[in-house]
Structure 1
Amino acid sequence: MAQIKTKARALDMLGRQQIAGIPTALSELFKNAHDAYADNVEVDYIRKKNLLILRDDGLGMTREEFEERWLTIGTDSKFVDENSIAQPDVHASKKLRSVMGEKGIGRLSIAAIGPQVLVLTRAKRKEQLSTLVVSFINWTLFSLPALDLSDIDIPLIEIGGGKMLTNEQFLQLLEESKENVKSLAHKISAKKIDAVLHQIESFEFNPEVWYRNLKKLDCDIESQLKSDNALHEERKLYVDEDGFGTHFIISPVDEILNEEVEGDSSAKRTEQASRLEKALLGFTNTMDAANKPPIIARFRDHTSDGYVIDRISESIFFTPEEFEQSDHHIEGEFNEFGQFSGTVKIYGEEKKQHVVSWPEGLNRPVLCGPFKMKLAVIMGTARESKLPNDLWKEIYYKTNRIGGLYIYRDGIRVLPYGDSDVDFLHIEQRRSKSAKEAFFSYRRMLGSVELTKENNYALHEKAGREGFIENKAYKQFKSILENLFIQLASDFFNEKGDLSDKFVEIRARHQESYDLLKKREGLKTTKKKKLEKDLEKFFDRYDDDYWKRGVKELGEKVENKFINFSESVTSVDDFIFDVQKLLDTQLKPLINNLVVTIPSGIGFAKRITDQIDLYKAKKAEIEEQIKQLKNNTGKRLVDFEDQFGNRTGMRRRFSDSLDTQTEFHRKQLSSVYSQANKTLEELQEWAKSEIARNRALAKENIEQVKYDFSNVSFNEKSTDELFNLKTALEDKIASTSSQVIKKIEHLSEQVQTIKENSEQNAISSSKLTEVLETEYEHLKEVNAQNSEMVHLGMAIGIIHHEFKGNVLGIRQALKAMQPWANKNEKLNFIYQDIRTGFDHLEGYLKVFDPLSRRLARKRVKVTGNALCEFLTSVFWDRLEKEGIDLKVTDAFLEQSFIGFTSTIYPAFINLVDNSIYWLGRSSGEKVITLDAIQDGFVIKDSGPGIPTIDRENVFEFAFSRKVGGQGMGLYVVKKTLEEEGFDISLAPYDPSEGACFTISPKQDNEVSDGEE
C-alpha cells in the first residue's frame, strides 16, 4: 500500500502563498486574537530594528494546546463536528463569540510578514494562569522543496512562576534551531544551510530590554486612554506577572511593509489611504455608537525619526460623532426575502419611514439571509452640505481616503469590502456614467452592513480572504444592495424623484447660504487685511513719535514766528495769514495720517477689536494735542491782532475764517451727497434691470408655451397624451411664474433691508451683523483656547511624569558608573560630558516641580533670594550661551510676599525665558534685571521691547511674535496670577528700553498664609 506524504513547503503554499499581502496577514492574526477572547490586539512596528511585535490579551495557550492546535496543520478544533477535537476555551464572563479563523491559515500567514517568529503565549483558564510557553520558528525552512514536515524540529520551552523570558533563554532557543538546521545537511545544500543560519543569527531581540520598553509605552498609552475615556478598562498586554495572552515577535519584516504602511508614490500624491489602512482600518465597527466592538485593534508605526504614529486606531477610523454629523442617514433591515424596511433622514430632518422592494425576490427566502445596514452620506461640495466648512473639509478628507461600505460579520470586518477600489456594487461605475442620476459614491459615504454567522452562513469567504466566494448567496446579497442604492438615488436624491422635494429644497437653501457667506468672506478678508495694515502703520508711527514730534516742531515754528515778528517789516494781516497757512499746511498730513477707516458691518476677532479700541484712545489723545495747539495759536493770534491791529480787521478775519470753514464743510457734505445719490441711482438702475430681465424671461417662457401648444395636432393624440401635454404646459407656466416671483420678492427684501432707522429696521442691519459677527469670532477663539488648554494640561502631566521617572533612572545609573569612571580616564571624559548634560536636564525638571504640587499645596513666603537661586539653576547655561548678564538688585533679594510657588515660579520662568529669546535676537547690551518696588517684583530687559500695538494683546491666548510661538505663556501666567490674587502689568513702550513687567498683589486683596 502507498501513503500520501507531506512536504514542508505545503505550509508555505497553504499560508504565505494564499495570503494577498501583509495587511491581510495581520487581519488574520487579529481574527485569531478575537477568537481567543482578547479585548485588545496591538502591533508595534519598529522600523529601525526591522521588527514587528504583535500582542493580544486573549486567553492564550497551554503547552498542550500550542502543540496540538497551533503547531498542527489542518486542525478541526474550530470546526463543529462530532469527530473533531475539543473546541477552544471560551471566556465565561464574556459574550460568546463566533469563530472567525476556521480555515487555520492565520498562523501560517505570519510567514507573509517575515521569515522568523518568536511566539510567547500564556494561558488563563478559570482564573488560573499557566506557564509561559515560548517557541521559535523559521519559516524559510518550510519553503525548501527537499524537506518533509517531520524533518523540522521546533524548539520550545516553558517558564513558570510568572517570570519573563530572559535573553539567555532566548539565545538558547536560537541555538537549538540552528542545530536542527545543521542536522539537515544530508537533504539541503551547504549554501542554503548557511543562508538559514545567517537569518537566525540576524534575529536581534533582547526580551528583557524590549518588554521593559513596551511596558513603559503601555503606561503612556494607558494614561492617554484614561484621560480620553473615564470608563476605559485597563489593558494588560504582557505575559509575565499576572498577564496572559499571545505575542508574536517577527523579524526581519518584509521590506514591502514600509510601502504598505505609507502608501506608494501615487497614493501619497493623491492623498489616498495606504494598503495597510484600507485593509485594517475599521477592523471592528467603531463608527456605530450603539455598537460595542468585541476587540480593539491598533497598529503603531515607530518611524526611523523616533516618532510613534498610530495608523489604524478607532480615532483614525470614522467616529460615531462624524457618522452623526453627516448630511444624510439611511438605516434599516433586509428581511429573509431581501426587502428593505427602514428610515431615511435628509439633512438632519425628521426620519422618514421607507421601504424598498427587491423585484428579483419572487416571494422566496434568499440564500444570503437577512442583514442590517447603517449608512451616512456627506455631500460632495461644501456649498451643498449642512456642515460648517471646516467640519465638512475634515469629514470629506476622511471619506475621500477611506470612505465606503464596510461589511462586518459578528462585529469583525470582512475584507476587502470597504475599500473604495473594490467596487463590488458598481457604485462608482454607475456614477461615472451619470453622476446626476447615480447620487451615491464610496468617497462620500461611511457605512456598514452587519452580517452574522448564524443568519448569513451561506456567504463563504475565499481561502485567501479576498472576499466572498461568488456563489448564489453572494450574488443575491450583491443584487439586493445594488437595488437599494439605485432606488434610494432615484426616490430621494434625483431632482425628479418622487420623494426628492425636501432634498432639492434644502440643498438649494444651503447652496444659496454658502454662496452668500463665501462672497461676504471674500469681502471681509480684503477689508480685514487692509485694516490690519493701516493699524500697523498707525502704531509704527505712534511708537516713532510721528505726531508728538510733528506737533512739537509746528509749535516751535509758530513760536519763532511770534518771536521774530517785526511790525516795520511785516504787516499784521500778512503775519496772521502766514501763521494760519503754516498751521493748515503742517497739520494737514498729521490729521490725514491719523485716520484709519474701520469698515462697518464686519465683526473682528478679539486681537483686532482690542487694537481698534487702543487706536481710538490714542487717536483721541493726538487729536487733543492738535486741538490744544490750534486753540493756543488762535488765542494768541486774536490777542496779537487786538494789540497790533483793530477790531474792524478782526471782525473781517473772523468772518473770512467762518466762510472758509463753511466752504470746506460744504464741499465735504456735497461729496457725500453726490456719492449717496450715485449709489442710490446705481441701486435703482440695478433693481430696474433685474425686474425687466425677469419680466422678459417670464414673457419668453410663456410665449414658448403658447408656441409649443400651437404646434400640437389634436387629431393625432390620444386623450391621455393631450391631458399629459396640458399638464406639462401648465406646470411650465407655473414653474416660470414661481421662479420669477421668488426672485422679485428676494430683490424687494434686499432693498427693504437697506432702509435704515425706519420702523421696520430700527437698528442698522450692518451694525447688527457687525455685533453678531464679532461675538461669533470671539466665541470661536474661546473654543479654540479651551481645546488648546485641555491638550496642554494633559501634555504637561505626561511630560512631568516621564521626565521625573527618567531622571531618577539616569541619576542611579550615573552613580553606579562613577567608580568605573574614576579608574578609567577615557571613560571619565565621557562620564563628565553625560553628567554635565544631565545636570542641565535636571535643571529643567525643576520647572515642573511647582506645577506638580498644585493638588496639595500651601501658601508660603516667596522671597526674591529664593526666586533668584531658582531662576539661576534653570537658566544659567542659556544665559551664558547667549552672553546675557543677569543683574539682581538688593531690593529684589529683600522683597517677598505670601503666595503659592506653583503660581509664582512658572510666571518668572516664562518672563525670563521670553527675555532670553528676544535678547538672543538683538544686538547691543544684553541685560535682564530683577528689581523690586514697594509691593512687588520687577522683571525687565534691554531687548527690543513690546510695541504699543501689541500692548493690549500680549496677554491674550495664541498671540505671539515669536517664530513658531504658540502664544500661551503670558496668557497662562496672567490667568493663574489673577486667580491667586496677583496682578501682572506691562510698562508703556519706550524705544530706549526693553520690556518691563511688574508682579504684585492686587490692591483690594490681602494674601494671607494658610492652606488653599
Structure 2
Amino acid sequence: MIGMSQNVPFRTRARTIDHLGREQIADVPTAVSELWKNAYDAYARSVSLHLYGGHKPAAAVFDDGHGMSREDFVSKWLVVGTESKAGGAETDETLRLGLPVRPRQGQKGIGRLSVAAIGAAVLIVSKRADAPFVAGLVDWRLFENPFVLLEDVSVPIVEFDSLESLGSLVEGLRRELLTSVDGPRDQPERAERLQSAWSAFDRLERAQDPSAERTSERIRQLVDLSLPSLAPLEDWGVWKGDSRTGTALIVADINPFLAAWVGRHYGVTADEADAVKISLRRTLTGFSDPYAAEDLALDYRVIVHRNGEIVPVVARDPDFGLGFLRGLEHYVDGAFDEHGVFRGEVKAYGRELGTVEYIPSAHPPTAPRDRVGPFGVCIGAFEPEAGYSTHPPDVHAKIAGRSEAHSGLNVYRDGLRVMPYGRPENDFFKIEERRTNNAGREFWSSRRLFGRLAITRAANPNLRDKAGREGLIDNTAARAMQALVIDLLRRLARDYFGSASEVRKDLLPGIAAENAGAAEKAKAARQRTLTTFRTAVRDRAPVLQRSLTALQAARSRLDAAIVDGSPEALLAVGGPLDDLVTTKGELRLPPKPKKLASFEKTYRSYRDDYSRFAAGLEELRDVWRAETDRIQTEPDPVVARSHLGRNQKAVTDLLVRWRRDIAAMLDAEQARVAESIESDLKEFYKRAAPLLGELEEGRISLSHALGQMDSLREQLTERFAGVYDPYLRSVKQLSEGIDLDSALTFADARQDTLEVQLGRIQALAQVGISVEILTHELNTLNRRLERALHGLPQAARDTAEFKDADEARRELVERLRFLSQMQVSEGDARREINGKEILDYVGRFFERGLSDRKVSLEASAAFLAVRFSEFPSRVLPVFINLINNALYWVSDAPERRIRLGVSEGAILISDSGPGVDPDDVPNLFELFFTRRIRGRGVGLYLCRQTLAAGGHTIEYVTDPDRRDLSGANFKISMRDGIDG
C-alpha cells in the first residue's frame, strides 16, 4: 500500500566474494602470506607451499595446525567476516596443541579468500583431532559472474573417516560443484536463476572477446579433467602419518606467476616471472620476525617439485637473525614508549656508544582512537664501500650479498610480517626520498639496511591492516608511527652515521687509513694487472686479425714463387715473413690473471687465433727456408749474411724501442719522485715552526714544544718509510732482474686459489662425516623399508608400482655395496686385479647411466689382459671417477664412446667428448677445479692423491698422436707396470 514503510534486506551478488578476495590481494606473495597466517592462527608448527610441475601445474598449502571439523568448516571457513576474528577470546587449550597462546593474526575473516589469487579451484581437506576428515571443493570463478546471487552458489562438502576413501568421494564433490552452474535438479526455481545468470555472463564475455573461452566452460573442463588432483596430498604430514591434525589446500589452474616456477609461463614473460620469484623469496623468507628474542615455533618453506627433483626455494635462514644484526658495524636497538620517546643502544663503526634517548620533535596523538602505543625498533647497517668499513673485505662482501634477499626495514605484528613494508618498491619511511636530497647526510639506504619495527595487536590496536592485506590503514596512528620512525632515522644519521655527524668525522679517517694498507694496494695491483691484460687483448686483437690476413697473403706469394721457380720472388717473400715474426712478438700477451670472469671467452678466442697464427707462420718459414735452399742461385754465405742482417735489424729495432720507452718512463718517474721528496722535505718545518712562535709568546712550555717536535718526527718518519722503503725495495728487485709482474700475477693467482680452497675444505670435511653417517643410516633404513614393503598384502605386492619401488630399493642397496668396496678399511687386502674385473665392475655400476644416455663402454683386448697387484679401495674409485666424468662430457657429443685401453705400458681411459681446454690442463688435478655445471672439482684431485699413495701416477694426455679417442684421455702409470 502506498505510504506504508517496509523493511527490505540487502541482497549480495556472488561477485562480492571476488571483490573481497582475489581482487583485493596485491600479489601472489601476499596471498601466500595470508594463508600462512591462517595456519599460524590454527597453531601449526609448520606450514608450506608446494608447487608441482607436469601437464597441469598445481599448488598446495599444507599445515599441521588443529584442523577443522565439519561444523568449523561450515560455520567459520565458509562464513566471511566470522566473529571468531572479531572477538578477543583465546583459542581453546585443546586446540593449541601444546603451544602457548598466540595473538590472532586475522582481523576481518577474509584471509582464506586469498587462495583465489593462487589458483582457480581449491580442494580443502582438514582433520581435527576429535572429528572425522572434512573436504570441500570451491571454484573461485563461480564468483566472477556478476549475474549470480551469492545465495545461489553452494560449496559441496563431505565427511569421511580415512583418506583412502577420499578418491571416490571427491568425484561426487566435482559433480555437485556443477550445480552452481547448471542448477540443482530438485530446485527448479534456483536452477532457472543460475542458468539465466550464466547465459547472460556467456553473452557478456562473448561480446567482450569472441575468441576467449567462456568461464562456465573452464569450470566444466576442470571437473572433466578430475582436477584438483589428489596426488599432492602424499606430501601432507597427515597423509604421511607425521601429524594427527592439519589442513591441506590443493589448488588447480594456478596463477601463471606460480606456474613459472615449474617451467610453465602461460603468457608471463621471463622478466615478469623472475620478478615474481624474487619478490616471493624476499617476502616469504622474512615471513616471521628473525630478530625476535623468542622463537615463534613456526617452520615455513616453499618447495618446488619439478622433473623428479624436490627443491626448497624459501625457508627460514638460521644464520640470519639478531646475532647477525648485532654483528654489523652500525646497530641500533631500542623501543618507543607510549609517549613517543625512544630509548636504545647505539653502535657506530664497530664501537659501542652507549644508551641514547630521543624525545619526539612532535608529540604523537594521545586520544584512545589515535594513539600509536609502544613498539620496538632494531636496525643494522653497513658502509657501502669496503675501504671505509670496519668489516674485513670478505665479511663485507657476504653482508652485501645478504642484502639482496634480506635488506629493508620490515614491520612485524606479533612476530609475523605486515606487507608491503621492507620491499624495495615500498618507501613508507621515506628513506630513499631523503637520500635523493643528500645521500651522505641522510646515510640510510634500504639496500644497506636490515631491521624491523615490532608492533603488537594488544599495544597498537589502532594500527590495522587494509582490507587488501597490503599495508596499514592510513589513519592518525599509522601516520604518527611513520613520523616517529622518520624522525628517529634522521636524528641518528645526523648524530652518528651520516656525513654531518662528528662521530663519522672522527672515526672514518682512521678506518680508511687502516684499510688502505698492503691488502688494498695488492687489490689495486691485481686490478691493474687485469685491466692491463684486458687492454692488451682488445688492442692487439685487430692487429692479430690483420696479421692473419697478411700471413695468408704471404702464403699465396710463396706458393706463386714456388710455382714460378723464381729465386727473386722467393727471396722477396722473406721480408714480409720477417715482419710477421716481429709482429708475432708484439702480439704476445702479458701474464694471464687467474680470474677473467666474462672476459675468459674473449681471451680464449684471441689465444686460439694467436696459436693458429704462430703455427701457420712457423710452417710457412720452414717451407720458405727449404725452398730458398733448393732454388737459390746466390752462394750460401751471401744468402745467410742477408738473412742475418734482417734478423739483426729486427732485434735491434725492438731493443732500441724498449730502451727508448724505459728511459722515458724512468725520466718521468725520477722527476715525480724528486718532486715528491722535495715537497716532503718541507713538511716537518712547516708543521713544527709554529711551535717556536707559541713558545716565544709563552703559550706553551719548552718541554711541551720539544715533545711535540719529537712526536711529529716519529709520525713523519713512519709515514715516509711506508712510502719510500717499499719503492726502494721494488727498484732494487728490478735491478736484480726479478720479474715483479710475473711474481705478482703468480701471487694473485695463488691467493685466489687458496681463498677458494680454504672456503670449501671445511665443507669437504663435513661431506666426509656426512657420508659415514648416511651409509649407516641408509643401511638401517633399507632393512626397515624391505620389511615394510614385503609386509604389504599380496595384492599390493603384485602391482607394477610395488615392483618398481622394490627394484629402486635394490638398486640403491647395490650402489651402496659398490661404494663399500671403495671404502678403505682394516680388512682391505692387496690382491691381483685384472682389466676384465675392472670393466665388469664399472659396467655394472654405470649400467643404467650408460643405457639412458646411449653411451658405449668398450675395452681393448690389451686392457682386458692387464694384471697388477693393488688394494681395490685404491684403484676402483679412480675408474669410477674417470668414467663418471667421461659419461657427463660425452652425453652431448655426436659419438658417445668411452674406451679403456693400453698405451706405452700404461692404462688409457679415453672418451669422444670435447676434451679439456689447453688453458685448463695445468689446473685439472687441483682441488675444487671444475668446468662441470654443479661440479665440485674433487674427483680428479682424489684420483691423483689416491694413486700417489701407492706410488702410481695419472696424467692428462695432450699429444694428439698418443690419444685413443678424440676427447679427454687420461694415462695411469702403475708403479710396477702392468702385466698382460
TM more than 0.5: yes
8 Å contact from structure 1 (residues 400, 443) kept in 2: yes
CA RMSD of aligned residues (A): 6.1
Equivalent residue for 1:418?
Answer: 422
Are 1:523 and 2:528 an aligned pair?
yes
Q: Write the mapping of 1:631-710 to structure 2, written as runs, cut at 5 A.
A: 682-690=668-676
Distance in 1 (alpha carbons) for counterparts of 2:822 and 2:961: 39
Distance in 2 (alpha carbons) for counterparts of 1:910 and 1:783: 23
How far is 1:25 from its partner? 2.5
Equivalent residue for 1:553?
Answer: none
Equivalent residue for 2:172?
Answer: 172
Equivalent residue for 1:867?
Answer: 838
Change (3 A) 1:856 1:801: same
8 Å contact from structure 1 (residues 687, 747) kept in 2: no
8 Å contact from structure 1 (residues 951, 986) kept in 2: no
Distance in 1 (alpha carbons) for counterparts of 2:809 and 2:415: 48
Q: Give the residue type in structure 2 aligned to 1:442.
A: S
How far is 1:70 from its partner? 1.8
Distance in 2 (alpha carbons) for counterparts of 1:839 and 1:964: 28
Q: Secondary structure, in 3 states, of the residue corresponding to 1:168?
A: helix
Equivalent residue for 2:409?
Answer: 405
Distance in 2 (alpha carbons) for counterparts of 1:450 and 1:39: 21
Deviation by residue 1:497-549 (Cα, 9 ceiling, x = unmatched) = 2332345325633774586344212234368899999xxxxxxxxxxxxxxxx
How far is 1:771 from its partner? 10
Equivalent residue for 2:134?
Answer: 133
How far is 1:200 from its partner? 4.9
Equivalent residue for 1:359?
Answer: 361
Equivalent residue for 2:350?
Answer: 348
Q: Secondary structure, in 3 states, of the residue corresponding to 1:45?
A: strand
How far is 1:96 from its partner? 1.7
8 Å contact from structure 1 (residues 43, 298) kept in 2: yes
TM-score (norm. length: structure 1): 0.64
TM-score (norm. length: structure 2): 0.66
8 Å contact from structure 1 (residues 50, 252) kept in 2: yes
Change (3 A) 1:138 1:989: closer
Equivalent residue for 1:189?
Answer: 195
8 Å contact from structure 1 (residues 271, 401) kept in 2: no
Q: Write the mapping of 1:466-481 to structure 2, written as runs, cut at 5 A.
A: 466-481=470-485
Equivalent residue for 1:718?
Answer: none
Distance in 1 (alpha carbons) for counterparts of 2:352 and 2:840: 66
Are 1:245 and 2:246 an aligned pair?
yes
Q: Give the residue type in structure 2 aligned to 1:45.
A: L
Are 1:101 and 2:106 an aligned pair?
yes
How far is 1:61 from its partner? 1.4
Are 1:210 and 2:232 an aligned pair?
yes
Distance in 2 (alpha carbons) for counterparts of 1:739 and 1:44: 69
8 Å contact from structure 2 (residues 90, 101) kept in 1: no
My pick for the range that moved more, 138-147 or 262-271, is 262-271
Are 1:157 and 2:158 an aligned pair?
yes
Q: Give the residue type in structure 1 aligned to 2:245.
A: F
Equivalent residue for 1:993?
Answer: 962
Equivalent residue for 1:72?
Answer: 79
Count residues with an aligned counterpart.
798
How far is 1:295 from its partner? 1.9
Deviation by residue 1:358-400 (Cα, 9 ceiling, x = unmatched) = 1323897992122211112133344444456566456445535
Change (3 A) 1:138 1:856: farther
8 Å contact from structure 1 (residues 116, 252) kept in 2: yes
8 Å contact from structure 1 (residues 7, 147) kept in 2: no
Change (3 A) 1:926 1:244: closer
Change (3 A) 1:448 1:854: farther
Change (3 A) 1:170 1:855: farther
Distance in 2 (alpha carbons) for counterparts of 1:922 and 1:147: 61
Deviation by residue 1:258-313 (Cα, 9 ceiling, x = unmatched) = 58999986966997975544543411123x3845244233233456x777664442
Equivalent residue for 1:751?
Answer: 724
Distance in 1 (alpha carbons) for counterparts of 2:893 and 2:256: 50
Q: Write the mapping of 1:710-725 to structure 2, written as runs, cut at 5 A.
A: none
Equivalent residue for 2:703?
Answer: none
How far is 1:913 from its partner? 5.0
Deviation by residue 1:530-575 (Cα, 9 ceiling, x = unmatched) = 9999xxxxxxxxxxxxxxxxxxxxxxxxxxxxxxxxxxxxxxxxxx
Deviation by residue 1:758-805 (Cα, 9 ceiling, x = unmatched) = 99xxx9998998998677445313224426647977799999989999
Q: Secondary structure, in 3 states, of the residue corresponding to 1:437?
A: helix
Equivalent residue for 1:907?
Answer: 878
Q: Secondary structure, in 3 states, of the residue corresponding to 1:252?
A: strand
Change (3 A) 1:427 1:977: same
My pick for the range that moved more, 503-512 or 447-456, is 503-512
Distance in 2 (alpha carbons) for counterparts of 1:919 and 1:14: 56
8 Å contact from structure 1 (residues 948, 988) kept in 2: no
Distance in 2 (alpha carbons) for counterparts of 1:940 and 1:108: 62
Equivalent residue for 1:509?
Answer: 513
Q: Write the mapping of 1:829-978 to structure 2, written as runs, cut at 5 A.
A: 849-851=817-819, 859=828, 863-864=833-834, 865-874=836-845, 885-889=858-862, 892=865, 895-900=868-873, 904-912=875-883, 928-929=899-900, 938-939=907-908, 953-959=923-929, 967-976=937-946
Change (3 A) 1:16 1:758: closer
Distance in 2 (alpha carbons) for counterparts of 1:14 and 1:350: 49
Change (3 A) 1:816 1:455: closer
- Give identity over the alignment, percent: 23
8 Å contact from structure 1 (residues 985, 997) kept in 2: yes
Q: Write the mapping of 1:53-64 to structure 2, written as runs, cut at 5 A.
A: 53-64=60-71
How far is 1:133 from its partner? 1.4
Change (3 A) 1:407 1:863: same
Q: Give the residue type in structure 2 aligned to 1:296.
A: D
Q: Write the mapping of 1:721-732 to structure 2, written as runs, cut at 5 A.
A: none
Equivalent residue for 2:756?
Answer: 781
Distance in 2 (alpha carbons) for counterparts of 1:479 and 1:919: 64
Q: Give the residue type in structure 2 aligned to 1:522.
A: Q
Equivalent residue for 1:634?
Answer: none
Distance in 1 (alpha carbons) for counterparts of 2:122 and 2:747: 64
Q: Give the residue type in structure 1 aligned to 2:761.
A: N
Change (3 A) 1:196 1:909: closer
Change (3 A) 1:399 1:874: closer
8 Å contact from structure 1 (residues 346, 503) kept in 2: no
Q: Give the residue type in structure 2 aligned to 1:973.
A: C
Q: Write the mapping of 1:24-103 to structure 2, written as runs, cut at 5 A.
A: 24-46=30-52, 48-80=55-87, 90-91=95-96, 93-103=98-108
Deviation by residue 1:213-259 (Cα, 9 ceiling, x = unmatched) = x36xxxxxxxxxxxxxxxxxxxx364757542111112222446558
Q: 5+ unaligned residues in a row in structure 1: which ranges?
A: 216-235, 534-588, 606-668, 702-737, 822-830, 1004-1012
How far is 1:12 from its partner? 3.7
Distance in 1 (alpha carbons) for counterparts of 2:473 and 2:528: 58
Deviation by residue 1:789-823 (Cα, 9 ceiling, x = unmatched) = 47977799999989999x999x99xx9999999xx
Change (3 A) 1:144 1:788: same
Change (3 A) 1:939 1:351: farther
Q: 5+ unaligned residues in a row in structure 2: which ranges?
A: 1-5, 200-215, 539-580, 597-654, 688-710, 964-968
Distance in 1 (alpha carbons) for counterparts of 2:323 and 2:952: 42
Equivalent residue for 1:123?
Answer: 128
Q: Secondary structure, in 3 states, of the residue corresponding to 1:361?
A: coil
Distance in 2 (alpha carbons) for counterparts of 1:268 and 1:385: 36
How far is 1:891 from its partner? 7.9
Change (3 A) 1:932 1:512: closer
Q: Write the mapping of 1:228-243 to structure 2, written as runs, cut at 5 A.
A: 236=237, 238=239, 242-243=243-244
Deviation by residue 1:94-126 (Cα, 9 ceiling, x = unmatched) = 2221110131011223233334221111123xx
Q: Secondary structure, in 3 states, of the residue corresponding to 1:133?
A: strand
Deviation by residue 1:153-195 (Cα, 9 ceiling, x = unmatched) = 43222222x5345322211221233346444422122672854
Distance in 2 (alpha carbons) for counterparts of 1:839 and 1:777: 46
How far is 1:476 from its partner? 2.2
Equivalent residue for 2:643?
Answer: none
Deviation by residue 1:563-604 (Cα, 9 ceiling, x = unmatched) = xxxxxxxxxxxxxxxxxxxxxxxxxx9xx99xx99989x999
Q: Secondary structure, in 3 states, of the residue corresponding to 1:337?
A: coil
